[in-house]
Amino acid sequence: MTDHEKDAEILAHRHQLGLLQRQLDGKRLRLHHTDRAFLAALLTPLPRATLRRLRLLISPDTVLPWHRDLLKHRHARASTRRRPGRPRTHHSIRRLVLRLAAENPVWGYRRIHGELALLGIPVAPSTVWEILKTEGIDPAPQRTTVTWASFLRTQAEAILAMDFIETATLTGYRQHILVAIHHAGRRVRVLGNTAHPTHAWVTQAIRNLVMDLEDVGQLPAIKYLIRDRDAKYPQVIDDILDQAGITTTLTGIRIPRMNSIMERWVRTLRRELLDRTLIWNERHLRHALNEYEEHAPPEPLDPEQIDRLSIRRHDRLSGVIHEYRHAC
C-alpha cells in the first residue's frame, strides 16, 4: 500500500471509531450527510481492491453511489447560482435617495434622479423608482399632500401653542393650569394656575405672556397662536394678540393632533410630575410647576470631555425630578 492509501485507511478507521462511540453513547448508529460526504471524498480515489481489503462498516458499492450523489448536488448548486448582472445599488446611494424623498415630499423619482445627476452620482431613473417602491414610497409625484405635523415643523419659529390642564389637590379642589409653548425651542411657560379661571384672570395671563415675549425679543417672530375652543378663553384675548401681531388659530373639533406638541408636553407633565406628586393646595401646585418649568435638559457635551466624564445629579421637588449636569 502506498502512503496515501495508508493515511486514508487510518482516517477511515478513526472516523468509524467516532461512529461507534456515538452508538455507545446511547444513540442509534446513523450516518449523517457530513459523514457520507467525508467518507466518499476520502475513499473514492482508492482502488476497489484496496477498498475491499479495508475492514469498514460500509462496502465499496455503498461509497461510490455516495460520491455520485455528492457530485450531483454540487453541480445542481452551481447551476442555480445567480448569474452576473447589473451590480447592486450601494447602500449610501439608497440612503440618499430615501433622504431626498423624505425631505422633499413633492419630488418624484425623476426629480430625485436629476438631483443625483447634479451631484455626480451615476444611477438610473429605474433604480430610483425601484428603491422608492421597495420602501413603500410612491415614486410618482403624488406625495404633494403636506401633513399637519410637517407644516408645524417648517413654521415652528412663528408658532405658539396654548392649552388648559386640569388637576386636583388632595382636598378635592380642581385646579386649572394655563400653559404656553413655543414650537421652535420647545420653551414652556406656565402662565399660572387657579381654581377659578375667570375671563379677567385669563386676560391678565395673556397680557403677561405678551410682555414676557417682548422682553426676550421673541414677539416679532411669533405670528400664530394655536389653541382649542375652550369656553374659558374670552374673546378679548384674540384682540390683545392681534394687536401684538399674533393671529389666533383654533383647532378642529376632536382633532387634538392639530395641537400635537402641546398635547405631548401635557402628557409628559402628567407622567413625570402630576401623577407622582401629592398636591396639597394651590400654592404647592404653583411651586411644583415653577420647579418643573425651570427643569431644563443638560448642556451639550464637549467632544474633548468624552474620555473624562463626570456627571452629577441635582434633585428637584425632593427627588421627584432628577437633573444631570457635567461637573465643572
Tell me the per-residue pLDDT of 32-91, one tens digit each, with 9 for 90 and over. 667 666 776 666 666 666 666 666 656 656 666 666 666 666 555 555 555 555 667 788
The secondary structure of 17-69 as a DSSP string is HHHHHHHHTT------HHHHHHHHHHHTTS-HHHHHHS--SS-HHHHHHHHHH
- Cα–Cα distance, 183 to 108 (Å, whole number): 30
pLDDT attached to residue 205: 96
* Residue 167: strand pairing partners: 175
- Which whole number is the average pLDDT over 104-115? 83
- Cα–Cα distance, 282 to 177 (Å, whole number): 10
pLDDT attached to residue 253: 87
The percent of residues above 70 in pLDDT, for the chain, comes to: 71
**Matching residue, cell 400664530:** 224
pLDDT band at residue 9 using 50, 70 and 90 as cut-offs: confident
| 0.85 exceeded by pTM | no
- Cα–Cα distance, 5 to 152 (Å, whole number): 81
pLDDT attached to residue 193: 95
Residue 273 grid cell: 410630575
pLDDT band at residue 100 using 50, 70 and 90 as cut-offs: confident
How far apart, in Å, do the first and last CA atoms of the chain sit? 82
pLDDT band at residue 133 using 50, 70 and 90 as cut-offs: confident
Closest-CA residue to 166 (of 156, 157, 154, 174): 174
Contact 123, 110 (CB under 8 A): no
Average pLDDT, the chain: 80
Q: Which residues contact 164 (CB under 8 A, 6 or more apart)?
A: 176, 177, 178, 179, 197, 230, 232
Residue ranges of the alpha helices (H) in the chain?
3-24, 33-43, 48-53, 60-79, 91-103, 109-118, 125-134, 148-154, 199-215, 236-243, 260-272, 282-294
pLDDT attached to residue 50: 67
- For 176-230, the pLDDT digits (tens) are 999 999 998 888 999 999 999 999 999 999 999 999 999 999 999 999 999 999 9
pLDDT attached to residue 8: 73
- Cα–Cα distance, 98 to 105 (Å, whole number): 11
Q: Which residues contact 87 (CB under 8 A, 6 or more apart)?
A: none
Contact 138, 123 (CB under 8 A): no
- Which whole number is the average pLDDT over 308-325? 76
Q: Which residues contact 309 (CB under 8 A, 6 or more apart)?
A: 326
Contact 260, 237 (CB under 8 A): no
Contact 203, 240 (CB under 8 A): yes
- For 226-258, the pLDDT digits (tens) are 999 999 999 999 999 999 999 999 998 888 888
pLDDT attached to residue 180: 96
